Chains A and B, each alone.
Chain A
C-alpha cells in the first residue's frame, strides 16, 4: 500500500467533506449542541427538584401531638398540607408523601408513604427518613418510642407495578420519539425526492392540481406509513416482552396499564408521528434525491432521540411550566403522564395543538417550495 496515495485520497476527502455544509452540521454541530441542550433542559428539572427539597415539601402528617411530630415540623423542610384525601393528593403530586404514626406491637413506628412513580416523591421520602432518623438518634424517650422509632417505607403503587410503570415511563416516550422519526423515513424520502429522482415530478406538477392538493394527498400516505411503522415497531416490542420478559428485566416487574391509558397513549402518539412525518416530508421536497433526503433525516432521528432522553429525565409529577410550551417535549410528557394514569387534558390539548401547528408549518413549507421553480428543478 502506498502511503502517498492514501494521504492524497485522505486529503481530498477531508477537503470535500469540510466544504459540505450539511455533513458538517450533521456530524459536528448537532452532536456538539445536542448534549448541552438536553443537559440544560434536564438541569432545569433537577434544579427545580433540588430547590423544592430544600424546604416547603408538601406532606400530609398524621401524627398526634408529640415530640416526634414537633421534631418533624420544627425541621422546617416539611409543610403539613392537612390533606382531606391524602392518597389522591399523593397520586396527583399535590403532596410529596404521607407521614403516619403507626405503632406496631408496642413500638413506635412511623409509616412514610411515597409515590414510587415520581422521582420527587421518592426523594422527599428520603428527606423525611433522614429527619426521623435524626430524632431517633438524639431523642430517646422511653415513654414514647421505647428508645427507638421504626420507620416503615410504603409506596403508593405496589413495588412490582411501580417498577413496571417506571419502566414504561422510560420506554414509551423514548421509543415513541425514535420510532416516529424512523418509521416514515423510507416513504417520505420516496414521495417527493424519489419523484424528482425518477423524473416524475415535472409530469406531476404539469397537471391541473394545486400544490396543496398534492402535498395533502402525499402527506396522508406518508402519515399512514408512519403510523403503520410505529404500530409494527411497538407490536414487535410487546411481542418480545411476552416471548422473553427476562430481557426487559421483568423478573419482579408487573406491567399493568389501564385500557383507557393505552387508548390515549395510542391516540396521542399520532400527533408525534404527524409532526415527525411532516418534518421529513419537508426535507423530501427540498432534497434532490432520496439518498440526500435520507442523509438529511439523520438529524431528525437524533433530535427524536434527544427529545426522548429529555422527557425520560423529567419527573412526571413535577414538570416545569417551560416544558409545557415546547410542543414535542410536552407531547412526550403527556405520554409519560398517560402511562402513569394522569390525564392532564389541558396540557394534552396544548401538546396536540403545538404538534398540529408544527405540522402545518412544515406542510406550508412544502407547498411553498413546490411553487418555486428553484426547488422544482433542483438537480
Chain B
C-alpha cells in the first residue's frame, strides 16, 4: 500500500534529509519509523503526504504516485503531522472533524456515521460539541486523530501520535490503530516511545541521518544485535544526535 523507492531529499540549505530511502508497508501492517531528532522521519511523512517534493525517487500510495497524482494519493491517506494537533480553536471538535469530512468530499450521513464510530472508539462523546480551545492535550490529539481517520483511509501516516499524552488518551489511540490494521489498513507510525513501538508495530525501520540503518521485526532486530530492542533503539537514535 505504501511504496517508497530510492527517495532522496536535499534542501536548498544543502542539508540532505533523506538519502535513497526505500521501504514498503503492506495492507494490515503497522510499521514503525524510528529515529532521533533530525533523522528524516518528518520529511519522509511530508513527502508521503505530498507536501514536500523529493529530490529524486518516487512514492506510491495505493498505487498512486504521490507527486504525479497528489490529490488521488491524499484521498486514500490520512495524515497526522507531528507538529501540533492543528485544530481550529474557535470550532468544536465535531465542527473540526466535519470540516475535513467536507474537504474529503464525504456526504453528511456517512461522515456522521464515521464520527459516531470514531468518537466511541476514542472515547470522545463527552467533548464533541465543545470548542477545542478549552481542550487538554490528550483531548486535542484524540480529535486530531479522529479527523485524520474520518474518511476511512487505506493508508495512515501518524507522526508521533501519542507524544505527551496521558495513559487513557494513548490507549484510545492505540485501540484505533490496532482496529485499523485489523481491517486491512497500512499504518506508518513514528514514535520515541519504545513500549508503544513494541506494542503496536509488527515491523520497524530505523532512520539515521537520512538512511535506513536497520529494519525488520523487533525480534529479528534483537537477535541480530544480541540486545533488547530498547538498547538497539538508543544505540541508533543516540548517535543521530
Contact surface of A with B, Cβ cutoff 8 Å: 198-200, 202-210, 373-374, 376-377
Contact = CB atoms under 8 A, between A and B. Distances in A.
A206 B71 contact: no
Contact of B104 (A198, A207, A373, A376): A207
Nearest to B11: A373
B100 A199 contact: no
Contacts of A207: 74, 100, 103-104
A49 B86 CA distance: 59
A376 B51 CA distance: 8
A205 B74 CA distance: 10
A200 B51 contact: no
Residue among A200, A207, A377 facing the most chain B CB atoms (10 A cut-off):
A207
A12 B12 CA distance: 31
Interface in B48-107: 49-53, 70-72, 74-75, 79, 81, 83-89, 100, 103-105
B52 A373 contact: yes
| Complex A-B, nearest 7 residue pairs according to Cβ-Cβ distance, in ascending order | A199-B84, A203-B86, A208-B74, A208-B71, A206-B49, A200-B86, A208-B75
A377 B88 CA distance: 19
B58 to A, nearest CB: 17
Nearest to B78: A206
A253 B74 CA distance: 63
A207 B87 CA distance: 14
Nearest to A205: B51
Contact of B84 (A198, A208, A374): A198
B50 A206 contact: yes
Interface in B128-167: 144, 147
Contact of B81 (A198, A203, A208, A374): A203
Given A208-B71, A208-B72, A208-B75, A202 B104 contact: no
23 contacts: A198-B86, A198-B89, A199-B86, A200-B88, A202-B46, A202-B51, A202-B81, A202-B83, A203-B79, A203-B144, A204-B103, A206-B49, A206-B51, A206-B74, A207-B103, A207-B104, A208-B70, A208-B103, A209-B71, A373-B51, A373-B53, A374-B12, A377-B52
Contacts of A376: 51
A219 to B, nearest CB: 17
A200 B87 contact: yes
A205 B103 CA distance: 11
A209 B83 contact: no
A54 B51 CA distance: 65
A200 B90 CA distance: 13
B103 A202 contact: no
Nearest to B89: A198
B12 A202 contact: no
A204 B96 CA distance: 11
Given A206-B49, A206-B74, A377-B51, 7 more contacts: A199-B85, A202-B46, A203-B81, A206-B81, A208-B72, A209-B103, A373-B51
Contacts of A200: 84, 86-88
B37 to A, nearest CB: 15
Contact of B83 (A199, A208, A210, A374): A199
A202 B86 contact: yes
A199 B46 CA distance: 14
A210 B52 CA distance: 15
B71 A210 contact: yes
B145 to A, nearest CB: 12
Contacts of B74: 206-208
Contacts of B53: 373
A368 to B, nearest CB: 15
A1 B49 CA distance: 56
A109 to B, nearest CB: 72
Nearest to A373: B52
Contacts of A208: 70-72, 74-75, 103-105
A198 B91 CA distance: 13
Residue among B50, B72, B103 facing the most chain A CB atoms (10 A cut-off):
B103
Nearest to A213: B103
B50 to A, nearest CB: 7
B76 to A, nearest CB: 9
A210 B104 CA distance: 12
Contacts of B72: 208
Nearest to A200: B86
A341 B49 CA distance: 57
A28 to B, nearest CB: 30
Nearest to A210: B71
Contacts of B86: 198-200, 202-204
A209 to B, nearest CB: 5
Contacts of A203: 79, 81, 86, 144, 147
A375 to B, nearest CB: 12
A62 to B, nearest CB: 69
A376 B49 CA distance: 13
A207 B70 CA distance: 10
Nearest to B53: A373
B103 to A, nearest CB: 5
A206 B70 CA distance: 9
Nearest to A207: B103
Contacts of A377: 51-52
Nearest to A199: B84
A206 B71 CA distance: 9
Interface in B29-43: none
A217 to B, nearest CB: 10
